[in-house]
Structure 1
Amino acid sequence: MTLIEFCGCALIAFGPPMTMFCLTVANNPIYIIIMISSCFFWLCALLTSSFLWAIVVPLKETLAFGVIFSVLIQEIFRYLFYYILKKAQTGLQKVSEVGNKGSIQSIRWLSLSYVSGFGFGIMSGAFSLVNVLADATGPGTVGLYGDSPKFFISSAFITLTFILLHTFWGIIFFDSCDKGCKYRIAYVILSHLTVSSLTFFNQLQFYLASLIPCYLITIITGVIAYQCSGGTLKSLKECLPFSLG
């Protein structure tokens, strides 16, 4: 039973992202490099947050302090990664002009923002769920000592939310920095803080109180990211295999 739960939770959290990786990232080596680089930047943000948490001794026991500063530091490193990519954009384009056997493999700035956000999300999801999945393999039964049996599956859905959100946040953040749109940058930071704060409900086993708002924010953020990428309602209807009307 524990093995089945492990596989189920792993597929819930990482199944859609792995599909996204195979369909949109794996066929371009430049995208893979960008994704790995963004994963490294997220790890640097985590390391910086850990240093800050260790230095500020009086607030070590305050979880909200760690969450707020962790989010802010992640967004600072997201900007640093944006700045570095912007400087390297021309060089990346030249490197990607000629692919295998002389074929053209062009890259777009929108794709780079997507891949960078995806890298942030993958590394965030891996760190948040790997230990949980390790515990899910047993031995033991979930809820044996009064704990909620919904903990593992709720953690998997929350992890999936953060992976998708980081992908959307990457698109919105890069586009907003290019256009100088401060209110969308503020939305990325505030929505990141909000979703992270909603996970406090999990300590009280109020999983729906965190899952429902998180997914609503994910949908809203996805719509904004779609608009930032140039999508419209007309183009969405044209992409659908069936008519909505």
Structure 2
Amino acid sequence: MTLMEFVGCTLLAFGPPFSMFIVTIAHDPVRIIIMIAAAFFWLLSLLTSSLWWFIVVPLRGELAFGLVFSVIFQEAFRCLTYLIIRRAENGLKKITDDSTQLIENKHILSYVSGFGFGLISGMFSLVNVVADSIGPSTMGLKSGSEQFFITSSALCLCFILLHTFWSIIFFDALDTSNLMQIVYVVLTHMLASCITLFNRYEVYSATLLPIYCILVVTAMNAFKVAGGSRSSLKRVLLCA
């Protein structure tokens, strides 16, 4: 039973992202490099957050304190990732055969970068959790909620997708100097992260429902930013 829970939770969290990687990224080595670079910058944001938590001794016991600054550092490194990718565009034109599509359609770069950001974030948040789900026992009965593992997996998937959409919106906002979209990304990231604090009370519906509502709104926003329209959405649905 624990093995089934491990496999199910792992596929729930990483199944859709794995499909996205195979279909949209794996065929292009440059996209893989950009994805790995973005993941590295997320790791740097984690390192910076950890150092800040270590420095501010009086607030180490406050989870909300670490969470808020973690979001701030992540968005700062998302901005740094954007600046580096934009400066590296000329080099990318020389090393990729798909330069026209990859460089002129800037949303591809933001999508791949956001995917790398979200994937490494999801791996760090869930790997230890699903590793514990494999046994020798599981949550429930006298201690802890039996919904813990599946809720953690659902949240992991949500944040992987959110990071992808946030980068699309954020990069476009920096290209067009759209301050409102930058504020939207930072505030929704902060809101979604703070909502997860309700998990300590094991009222998981209070966490999942609002965060997935944020995901839907952010996905629609990213779709619009990337040039999507009702007619293009209809064509995609018909092809599917």
Same fold per superposition (TM over 0.5): yes
**Matching residue's letter, 2:221:** I
**Matching residue's letter, 2:230:** L
Q: Output the CA distance in 2 between the equivalents of 1:242 and 1:72.
A: 39
- CA offsets, 1:76-111, max 9 Å, x none? 00000000001111211221137xxxxx77413210
Contact 1:96-1:106 at 8 Å conserved across structures: no
**Corresponding residue for 1:228?**
225
**Corresponding residue for 2:8?**
8
Please state how far the C-alpha of 1:242 moved relative to its aligned partner: 7.5
**Corresponding residue for 2:93?**
93
- CA offsets, 1:208-236, max 9 Å, x none? 00000000000000000001100011211
Contact 1:97-1:106 at 8 Å conserved across structures: no
Q: Given the alignment, which residue of 161, 178, 181 partners 1:181? A: 178
Scaled by the length of structure 2, what TM-score is found? 0.96
Contact 1:71-1:192 at 8 Å conserved across structures: yes
**Corresponding residue for 1:83?**
83
Q: Output the CA distance in 2 between the equivalents of 1:17 and 1:239.
A: 19
User: Would you say 1:124 and 2:121 are equivalent positions?
Assistant: yes
SS in structure 1 at match of 2:88: helix
Q: Output the CA distance in 1 between the equivalents of 2:233 and 2:32.
A: 27
Q: Given the alignment, which residue of 201, 205, 210 partners 1:204? A: 201
Please state how far the C-alpha of 1:135 moved relative to its aligned partner: 0.6
Contact 1:172-1:188 at 8 Å conserved across structures: yes
Matches within 5 A, 1:134-213: 134-213=131-210
SS in structure 1 at match of 2:80: helix
Tell me the matched-pair count.
238
Contact 1:28-1:105 at 8 Å conserved across structures: no
- Aligned-pair identity in percent equals 52
**Matching residue's letter, 1:22:** I
CA RMSD of aligned residues (A): 1.4
Contact 1:96-1:105 at 8 Å conserved across structures: no
Q: Output the CA distance in 1 between the equivalents of 2:169 and 2:138.
A: 42
User: Would you say 1:64 and 2:64 are equivalent positions?
Assistant: yes
Structure 1 runs not aligned, ≥5 long: 99-103
SS in structure 2 at match of 1:240: helix
**Matching residue's letter, 2:96:** S
Please state how far the C-alpha of 1:238 moved relative to its aligned partner: 2.0
Please state how far the C-alpha of 1:180 moved relative to its aligned partner: 0.3
Q: Output the CA distance in 2 between the equivalents of 1:77 and 1:224.
A: 22
Structure 2 runs not aligned, ≥5 long: none
Matches within 5 A, 1:9-88: 9-88=9-88
**Matching residue's letter, 2:48:** T
Q: Output the CA distance in 2 between the equivalents of 1:35 and 1:145.
A: 42
Q: Output the CA distance in 2 between the equivalents of 1:131 and 1:239.
A: 37
Runs (4 or more) in structure 1 with deviation over 2 Å come to: none
